[in-house]
């Protein structure tokens, strides 16, 4: 059912194009996956996502487990039917949210709201403080109920200020859990005759040796793909790239490589150059809701006074709905008036911009001038690099 085929390998870098076949269609890599945390990419309908030619979207196990509950979604025949999205879906395992939502309350509360054992994690819901217990097995059971095409193993994402000793322990737990996830996945797939691809997640913090150890471990397991977790969590871009560089040689070329939580143009270019195939990030949709939009000349805030009388579209010659129909002046008015249409229009534009960029990157990898394209794009666009 699942098959990853590399269709082109860049000669000047590790960049590559590929096709990943899933039960709900092909994914052309490198691919960016818009994030639909609660089974909706914020402000957009499935029809909007279809018009954007989004090939795959992501949904969050943690949020859907808490509300409305995976059993409800299972009753509807899974996420695809429930949210009326016919193309591929990826669900994360909930691991990242369990830890990051606890962390958001401040590190002092970390130990009280998340209790980790070798078997799993007791945590308090960010919604109502109720205690829940997630194990690798339980996470996989939930993901099977949700029914995404690609599901993620349950991992521990440690706080950035943890010691190396702690990172190592957490990594080893993540490895143990990976084995448990795979076992549960195989059992459920056989029993329920479901077709889902399970990916492992490389951890190890900002420690090269741990990252290498983790990558070798994960690659050795019978997963359909490898993900890199715990990056883009506040470290410098140089450090992130160093970790990617360390990890990539340990990950099979034949499996798709997914860098979790990354989505600024500069980061995408750099990671693709190092051989990453898949990405997800709330960045383009979240920045849209703050009124920021991508252009070829960088990133701008529509709130800037200079756009008040601007008759141009967000980006000249852009083919998205927002740019075909509306001026910067009008969209600025919508954002100032807190009109929902403004949020939707910039979301559409930002996703179009990023998905279109990925499509262009694939084209240039095939053409053999990926690095030239990267240099030119980033030169024009000095401010697009994740500046907030």
Residues that bind a second copy (CB under 8 A): 38-40, 42-47, 67-68, 72, 75-76, 82-84, 308-309, 311, 321, 325-327, 329-330, 333-334, 336-337, 339-341, 343-345
Shortest distance in whole angstroms from residue 328 CB to a second copy: 11
Can 267 be counted among the known catalytic residues? no
What whole-number distance in Å separates Cα of residue 281 and Cα of residue 283?
5
CA angle 193, 195, 198 (to 5 degrees): 125
Name the β-bridge partners of 292. Answer: 301
Nearest 5 degrees, angle CA 117-CA 123-CA 129? 160
H or E, element range at 189: helix 164-192
Distance in Å, CB of 351 to a second copy, minimum: 14
Smallest distance from the beta carbon of 377 to a second copy, in angstroms?
30
* Closer residue to a second copy, CB minimum distance, 282 or 378: 282
277 is catalytic: no
Q: Which entry of 145, 149, 277, 280 is annotated as an active-site residue?
A: 280
Quote the DSSP letter at residue 264.
S
Phi, psi of 233 (to 5 degrees): -115, 25
For a second copy, which is the closer residue by CB, 132 or 333? 333
Pick between residue 81 and residue 254 the one whose CB is nearest to a second copy. Answer: 81
* Shortest Å, Cβ 52 to a second copy: 14
What residues contact residue 175 under an 8 Å CB cut-off, 6+ apart? 214, 217, 218
Q: Given 92, 149, 155, 267, which residue is catalytic?
A: 92
Instruction: Write out 308-350 in H/E/C secondary structure.
Output: CCCCCCCCCCCCCHHHHHCCHHHHHHHHHCCCHHHHHHHHHHH
DSSP H/E element including 127: none
The residue (of 39 and 140) whose beta carbon lies closer to a second copy is 39
C-alpha dist (Å) from residue 16 to 53, 87, 257, 274: 21, 23, 11, 9
Is the peptide bond preceding residue 68 cis, with omega within 30 degrees of 0? yes
Length of the chain counted residue by residue: 388
CB of 325 to a second copy, least distance (A): 5
334 or 361: CB nearest a second copy: 334
Which of the residues are catalytic?
92, 280
């Amino acid at each position: 059912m699942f098959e990853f085929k590399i269709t082109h390998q860049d000669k000047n870098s590790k960049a590559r194009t590929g096709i990943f076949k899933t039960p709900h269609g092909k994914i052309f890599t490198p691919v960016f996956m818009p994030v639909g945390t609660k089974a909706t990419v914020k402000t957009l309908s499935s029809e909007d996502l279809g018009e954007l030619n989004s090939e795959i979207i992501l949904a969050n196990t943690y949020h859907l487990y808490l509300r409305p509950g995976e059993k409800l979604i299972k009753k509807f025949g899974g996420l695809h039917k429930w949210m009326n999205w016919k193309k591929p879906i990826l669900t994360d395992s909930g691991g990242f949210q369990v830890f990051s939502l606890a962390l958001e309350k401040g590190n002092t509360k970390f130990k009280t709201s998340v209790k980790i054992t070798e078997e799993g994690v007791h945590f308090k819901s960010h919604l109502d403080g109720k205690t829940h217990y997630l194990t690798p097995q339980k996470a996989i059971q939930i993901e099977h109920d949700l029914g995404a095409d690609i599901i993620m193993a349950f991992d521990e994402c440690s706080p950035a200020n943890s010691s190396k000793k702690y990172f190592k322990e957490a990594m080893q737990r993540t490895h143990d859990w990976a084995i448990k996830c795979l076992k549960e996945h195989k059992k459920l797939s056989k029993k329920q005759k479901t077709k889902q691809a399970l990916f492992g997640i490389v951890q190890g913090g900002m420690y090269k040796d741990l990252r290498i150890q983790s990558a070798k471990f994960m690659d050795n397991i019978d997963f359909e793909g490898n993900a890199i977790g715990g990056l883009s969590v506040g470290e410098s871009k140089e450090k992130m790239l160093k970790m990617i560089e360390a990890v990539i040689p340990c990950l099979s070329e034949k499996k798709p490589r997914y860098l979790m939580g990354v989505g600024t143009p500069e980061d995408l270019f750099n990671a693709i150059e190092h051989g990453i195939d898949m990405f997800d990030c709330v960045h383009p949709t979240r920045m849209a809701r703050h009124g920021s939009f991508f252009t070829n000349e960088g990133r701008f805030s529509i709130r800037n006074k200079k756009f008040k009388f601007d008759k141009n579209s967000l980006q000249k010659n852009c083919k998205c709905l927002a740019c075909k129909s509306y001026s910067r002046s009008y969209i600025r008015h919508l954002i100032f008036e807190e009109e929902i249409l403004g949020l939707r229009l910039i979301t559409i534009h930002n996703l179009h911009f990023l998905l279109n960029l990925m499509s262009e990157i694939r084209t240039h990898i095939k053409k053999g001038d990926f690095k030239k394209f990267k240099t030119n794009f980033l030169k024009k666009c000095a401010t697009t690099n994740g500046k907030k």
